[in-house]
A and B are shown apart, each in its own frame.
Chain A
Amino acid sequence: MDAFSAVLQGLPMTLLLTVSAFVIGIVGAVPLAVGLSSPNAVLRLVCRLFVDLVRGVPIIVWLFLLKFGIQIGTFKFNPVGAAIVGLGVVSIAYLAEIYRGGLESVPRGQNEAADALGLARSTTFYRVLVPQAFRIVSPSIATYLTGLLKDSSIASTIIVAEMVFQSQSFARQHPTVEGILPYVLVGILYIVLSLPVAYLSRSLDARMRKAVYA
């Protein structure tokens, strides 16, 4: 088997990890972002500490904690489960911070105008603030997604058979010069994979701009 097909064997797992963690993050970050911008100081502080703690500990530590440290009765995480949950929780924290930044960057006048018009708070939030915030943060979300794609490689350290893991095992079996190939190929593959995300973010940005300001 050549190096490229070896690396490609790990592609479905890399995509599975990235997409699952991203979905967990996108959804899970919503309540956390609301908490981060809550008028209740205690709630805000708790959410803030959670976000900063999750981001303050390297991903590899979270993965090892979940994989090796957690045992409840007979339940233990398998490597893939630990990787998805770990990357998912980290995504929740990062995306919540991005959402909060977006909500705060909507001009105060929008809130005041909505209040003056007598819109309900939920209407103001979902129909006025969120669409504008989403347009502001969509490039950051796309950047985060490419970062997450790269971070999914850390799952190889808890023996998840994604791309970097496959590169490693190919390289081990080929002690000759061609053993460097999988590392080069996998590096290029990550860069290539992040291109459509960058493209999507740009077109999404353009579409949202039109949707908001048409």
Chain B
Amino acid sequence: MLNAMSQAGRIVIVGAGMAGSKLANDLLHKQNAYYSITLIGEEAQVGYNRIMLSSLLAKDISDAEMPLVDTNKMRNEGVDIIAGDPVISMNLEAKELYLRSGQKVPYDQLVLATGSRAKALPIEGASAVNVMGFRTWQDVDVMAGLEGRQPICVIGGGLLGLEAAVGLVKRGHQVTVFHRSNWLLNRQLDEESAQLLQNKLEQMGIVFRLGESPKSFVQSQQGLVTHVVDQNDQQTPASLVVMAAGISPETSLAKAAGLEVQQAILVDSQMKTSHENVFALGECCEFDQQTFGLVAPIWTQINVLIEVLAGNDANFSIEPTPTKLKVSGVNLFSVGKIQPSAEDDCLFFKDVAANHYRKLVVKDGLLVGAILYGNVADGSWYFQLIQNKTNVSDMLDLLVFGEAYCCPQVA
């Protein structure tokens, strides 16, 4: 539509990760909207499904299954995709971007989708070559290139760290995970379910060092890390260290350009930043004091932004988002509030031998949180109950046993 065209004109998306690529793809297919779209990425690979990196590392899938969008088709339909050439600065007044290659890119509407990076720990030697994150296809290629049975330390027992650890152990390496908290996935699991997960991962061969953070790294003369030193000055050998102790939103461009940034780039419910015609979404944005690491709310942000760009009324709001661990053989589901307060109802089921665990938190008659381990088939149903704010007071006694008991099929 001409009107949309005139409003939006040239849309430039900075960051060709999942958020940026999908936005470009979806804008292209938005009915009755005609934009000139430019997608700029720092990585050589564009438009792949970052979530699947751990599966790729674990050799559960092949390269061919990695794309999130069809970049060839997008190019053919007119999207200008610039890969391996990151934006190095922006002039918001002039509405221009400057790439490392020296190229200048003008825009009418700018979308920042710069994502995030692995958080670096303030430890001596953390910048060594064999200390790496687990964020990109490139990272997977490095790990996949390791030969033999290498001692590897993973720092961080969150989702990313565990996925990296599993992938590496499946590739035959000897993996030790350092995790600061007393149990794994402490933001998603409680201690009991984490124990079940730990049992399972230990059976796969991963060694856990819980409640421990590395104190320092021992480096070789070549500058490579050779050992991880713990609080008791014990040394654990490592030919590779994977940093997976959280992520930092990539906000350097935005900061430099004068956008308002706290933990990340501040946006309103229409994904607008502090500057006109500049939007942000994905892991680099902050809304209502929250940042985003899971895909579901980001997909929602994309949909909101597409409507906003089209001149329609749309607003983003935060909903609880379920988490799953992408490790084959491990079924885990976590959503919402997982530590009950004294006044909440906490429903608990545990079958250790069957590796089956469930915990639900109900507040004022509404389901507000759930942990499932082992059998997660009811996860989507619980998620629906949370999203729909269904009053579950009448089914409290059966709730933890799942949909089959609470909503028996009418014969």
**Do A and B assemble together?**
no
Chain B residues at the A interface, C-beta cutoff of 8 Å: none
Chain A residues at the B interface, C-beta cutoff of 8 Å: none
